[in-house]
């Protein structure tokens, strides 16, 4: 199966996106390429990554997000695969607006499984479409930054980019929009 792929260089390093049939089916970082390819291989028979320039306009929309248009990625259609519970968690993540965070426990309550905080965390960790399915918006019960497959430095950057005031930083000290080179 052919999957279209593109790479974007930005402040986060290389971002690799994968799409097919008008849907984003993978987004990870260049140093997570093995994880991305393993996830795709589990979901698609004999996947073949085919380089493409801005598949379905998703690269342009991600660049717009990185440049400060935080809503640019909100309605990108995704194809995540996963179990029904994982898809439910990922859909709930997409309802967290940019600039906001939610605790794992609060998200467990939102999906109707208040005792499933760890399961929510596990589903969050298996998210195949980083940034667009905003797993970076989940925080610990004390608002601490916990776990992120792309690393806590990237999670911190994404949250600051979205205007989240993090501990040790003034609430009005927001990052400037990132200027991303166009292809």
Closest CA to 58 of 9, 91, 12, 22: 22
Query: Domains, the chain, ranges and CATH?
Result: 2-73 (3.30.160), 84-161 (1.10.10.10)
- pLDDT for position 144: 80
Listed in sequence order, the residues at least 6 apart from 8 whose beta carbon sits closer than 8 Å to its beta carbon are 14, 15, 17, 59, 62, 63, 66, 180
Residues 3-13 have pLDDT tens digits of 999 999 999 99
CB 19 within 8 A of CB 56: yes
What is the average per-residue pLDDT within 175-183? 43
| Predicted local confidence at residue 140, as pLDDT | 87
Q: What is the pLDDT of residues 28-72, one digit of tens each?
A: 999 999 999 999 999 999 999 999 999 999 999 999 999 999 999
- 131 Ramachandran zone, left/alpha/beta (phi>0; psi -120 to 50): left
Catalytic, out of 8, 98, 135, 149:
135
Phi-psi region at 46: left, alpha or beta (left = phi > 0; alpha = psi -120 to 50):
left
Q: Is the pLDDT of residue 167 over 60?
A: yes
The pairing of strands 2-10 and 48-51 is parallel
Q: Is the pLDDT of residue 92 over 90?
A: yes
* Residue 25: active-site member: no
């Amino acid at each position: 199966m052919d999957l279209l792929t593109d790479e974007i260089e930005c402040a986060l390093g290389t971002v690799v996106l994968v799409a097919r049939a008008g849907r984003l089916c993978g987004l990870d970082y260049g140093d997570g390429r093995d994880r991305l390819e393993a996830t795709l291989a589990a979901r698609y028979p004999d996947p073949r990554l085919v380089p493409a320039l801005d598949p379905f306009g998703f690269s342009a929309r991600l660049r717009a997000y990185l440049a400060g248009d935080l809503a640019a990625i909100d309605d990108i259609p995704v194809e995540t695969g996963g179990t029904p519970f994982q898809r439910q968690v990922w859909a709930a993540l997409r309802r967290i607006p940019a600039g906001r965070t939610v605790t794992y426990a609060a998200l467990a309550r939102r999906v109707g499984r208040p005792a499933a905080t760890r399961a929510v965390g596990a589903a969050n960790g298996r998210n195949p479409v980083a940034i667009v399915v905003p797993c970076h918006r989940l925080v610990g019960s004390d608002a601490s930054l916990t776990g992120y497959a792309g690393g806590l430095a990237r999670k911190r950057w994404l949250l600051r980019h979205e205007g989240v005031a993090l501990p040790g930083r003034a609430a009005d000290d927001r990052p400037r929009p990132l200027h991303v080179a166009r292809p």
